[in-house]
Structure 1
Amino acid sequence: MEKYSQFRDRASGIAPFLPIVGQTPTISVLFHTFLFVVRFPLLISACLFYFCILQWLPIGSLGTKISLWTILGIPGIWWVDLQIEGVKKGSLAKHVQTRLPGPGTVIASSFTSPIDVVYLAAIFNPVFTTSYPGTRKVKQVSLLQAIIHAFDSPEPTPPHSSKADLIDISTLIKRNPARCVVVFPECTTTNGKGILELSPSLCSATPSTKIFPINLRYEPADVTTPIPGSYARFIWNLLSKPSHFIRVRIAESVSQEVLQTCRPRQADVSDATLNHEQQK
């Protein structure tokens, strides 16, 4: 894993905490301003209507998906390129149970933007968590709290008031058997150009629990929020562009049980060496 100092890794030159600046031609400033003025009240109204009213009503999974996709559609997030490792295009229906996250599984997602949270909620209806660098336990958070967390400053340790709310992933799965659990193991947002040292929170899952690594990238990439508190910049970049494109990559699931099986046991290695010496 890369270690970063002064916002840039000296060896690779990667700067995961610097915002990506998009280029807006001067001639199109009026057009982008028009889009922002039209979309801003629509997005605010849709968010307030969902988070203040709809999420407390029994609208079901379909109603939740429609509401969240409406929120994503207002700023022009229509195109999603979804690729699943080991699955050919057109054959996804044959592998839904094994290649996609489902109840009792864990999603280890990249964390670059609040859009990550809304997209994952619209597709998988998961339980969201926040991770911390020094503990295997996580804190369960709501959808709105997970969105706000994308703008928060990194927290090296859990707040003192939240320590009582920390929980193991295995226990969280038992409490929510019909849903999957989303973990952001990098603990904070980046611009997507580097991978931070991961939290040990994934180790609190049971050895047999399937963990699906998921990576989300955006075009234009200026909707990432590596700088804490960058609400205004994010809203402008989100609403002033005609459309946004998401690339989603879902890797094959892994588990601690599989990893331990793949590691050669020390005894086997010693026996093989002994047998080889006896043959000489």
Structure 2
Amino acid sequence: MEKFSQFRDRGSGIAPFLPIPSEPLGLQAPIRVFLFCFRLPLFIFVTLAYFLILQWLPIGSLGKKAALWCILGVPSIWWIDLQVDGVRKGSLSKQRQARLPQPGSVIASSFTSPIDAIYLAAIFDPIFTASYPNTRQVERISLLQAVLRAFASPSTRPKPGTQLVDVASLVEQYPSRPIVIFPECTTTNGRAILPLSESLLGAASKTKIFPVSLRYSPADVVTPLPGSYISFLWTLLSKPTHGIRVRIAEAAAIARSPLDTPPSRSTRKSTYNTNYLDTLDELAADSEAVMEKAMLDHVGEALARMGRVKRVGLGVKEKQDFVRMWTKTRSTW
């Protein structure tokens, strides 16, 4: 692993792109091989049945959610530990409207595995989007595309011809469903939070943004490397059970209010080189930029705190370099 030391965060030493090794088979080899061979046909059947047939039928949101839970049930993803910030155990039902993502809100989710999208779809029935590092606009994608993006190569920009939209426009277009954003733009191994995309800033000022952290036990059902279909299926289907630890932070919102107080008399003076209105616009723009950065930092810190990990400075560009080096050297591993 010394070859990839340059892809460790300088401050923490965390390597967010390295795959997590699975436990050795040992004496469990016969059981795991049996589970994989038994579950694989069932998993393929229920997955194809949903994406090819059921999702197009008028079975309603509850019917689709039930089908998605069947997909999660085949590999025995049963144990789900849900905690919501600011809510005591047993009182979530009384505060559901305020503490959980609702239609018209935005979910800023961690991104480590294809299971992320399926679980979010089974719980919230949202609209999925794809984010890119240097734009506030997002690409609307389907659930299947969101699943496949967990296996896709990282990309810093959308493909030519891709239609991008503002998050605020999606919220207005789909008022009865929440919007899911994966602001890290690519998958990790679950041991860090990457720099967040500006796509979250495309939401309107009053839109609630809920940071949601998804972590798995065992932790090796993640796909930090593109194209890892076979290894993921083996890890997912050969183990007896899997658990999901879900953490939902308090909602954040972007503050975009103009300066409420008039500037001082010294600021009001207009000269040949300066103008009072121009100065006011510059102050408002600076204030808005500070507020937007604070909101992104808040979401990033919430995801890191809930996932019990740290934020790192490595992003999509560094993962592209990592994937290229890994592809060149993996034949020697």
TM-score (norm. length: structure 1):
0.89
CA shift, 1:260, in A, is 6.8
Q: 1:182 aligns with which of 180, 190, 193?
A: 180
Pair 1:118 & 2:122 matched:
no
Aligned-partner residue type, residue 238 of structure 2: S
The answer for the alignment partner of 1:169 in structure 2 is 167
Is 2:225 aligned against 1:227? yes
Structure 1 distance, partners of 2:124, 2:113, is 17
Counterpart check, 1:108 vs 2:120: no
Aligned partner of 1:93: which letter?
S
Aligned residue type for 1:230: S
Deviations 1:40-60 (A, max 9, x none): 000000011111110000011
Give ranges in structure 1 of 5+ residues lacking alignment.
269-280
Structure 2-normalised TM-score?
0.75
Deviations 1:93-142 (A, max 9, x none): 11110000011000000000000000000000000000000100000000
CA deviation map 1:178-216 (0-9, x unaligned): 000000000000011111111000001001000000000
Q: Across the two proteins, how many residue pairs are aligned to each other?
A: 261
Structure 2: any 5+ residue segments left out of the alignment?
Answer: 265-333
User: How far, CA to CA, are the matches of 1:8 and 1:185 in structure 2?
Assistant: 20
Q: How far apart are residue 12 of structure 1 and its match? A: 1.3
- Indicate the residue corresponding to 2:140 in structure 1: 140
- Dislocated runs of 4+, deviation >2 Å: 4-7, 265-268
RMSD: 2.0
Q: Give the structure 1 partner of residue 212 of structure 2.
A: 214
CA distance in 2, matches of 1:12, 1:212: 26
For 2:64 and 2:24, the matched residues in 1 are separated by: 34
SS at match of 2:7: coil
Question: Where do residues 1-280 of structure 1 align in structure 2 (5 Å cutoff)?
Answer: 6-162=6-162, 165-257=163-255
CA distance, structure 2, for counterparts of residue 254 and residue 188 of structure 1? 22
Aligned amino acid, residue 131 of structure 1: S
Percent identity over paired residues? 59
Pair 1:97–1:34, CA change in 2 (3 A)? same
Which secondary structure state, in structure 2, belongs to the residue aligned with residue 129 of structure 1?
Answer: strand
What residue identity is the alignment partner of 1:105? S
